[in-house]
Amino acid sequence: MKKIICVLLAAAPLLATAQPKDWANYGRYAEANAQLKQAPDVVFMGNSITDGWDDAHPEFFTDNNFACRGIGGQVSSQMLCRFRADVINLRPKAVAILAGTNDLALNNGPIEMVHIVENIVSMAELALAAGIQPIICSVLPAGKYPWRGEVEGVAGKIRDLNERLRRYAAERGFEWVDYHAALAAEDGSLRSEYTYDGVHPTRAGYDVMEQVIAPVLEPYKSQDR
């Protein structure tokens, strides 16, 4: 027994070190949130695709009083976890939710499709309860995930997830933003002229996304801008 206890005590520091810190990454936008001088009109909640948008075209956010709250690599569970800190507490008029592709890529391990949808539904319902209008965005097309080559049938899984999200948005009367239709090749991959790795958009890809979502965002933009 003493031997077992000694082994456990010796392993304790290693186990503590291995524990993930700030799993939802609240710290990423903590300072930016605290420094906001006015409520953004729209918050964009997402992963690296949203995060890269702010890098590719920051004026899209600054000129329109939009806030980018994308974090690379995140799955829908992490976004749901930080949704209050990075969306609700900012008091926007609307939130554009783009989530799910990293779940399909197994970034946080296996997850059933129904639970991906439930996480996105939960974000939308939290927003609605706080008086924020949810805008549900389709997952961008992809034929494969370069960092997770073992995941098969990516294009079909994305289509399935998008159809479930589209039906949910229609049932609730929420705006549905279909990036997929505007960016997809016939085989369901992301058209080569809009991406540099098959998953993430180039500036040209973001230009298309802006054209798709702009009419939906117009009612939420401050009239004095």
The whole-number average pLDDT for the span 77-100 is 98
The whole-number average pLDDT for the span 154-181 is 98
Question: Looking up tokens 């976004």, which residue turns up?
Answer: 79
Query: What pLDDT sits at residue 56?
Result: 97
**CATH (residue range 38-220):** 3.40.50.1110
- Residue 209: pLDDT over 50: yes
- Residue 21: pLDDT over 80: yes
Q: Residue 46: which of 110, 138, 108 has the closest Cα?
A: 138
- Residue 45: pLDDT over 70: yes
Query: What pLDDT sits at residue 58?
Result: 97
Domain boundaries, the chain: 38-220
Query: What pLDDT sits at residue 223?
Result: 72
pTM (two decimals):
0.90
- Residue 85: pLDDT over 90: yes
- Our separate counts of H helices and E strands in the chain read 11, 5
Question: Looking up tokens 């918050």, which residue turns up?
Answer: 43
Query: What pLDDT sits at residue 200?
Result: 98
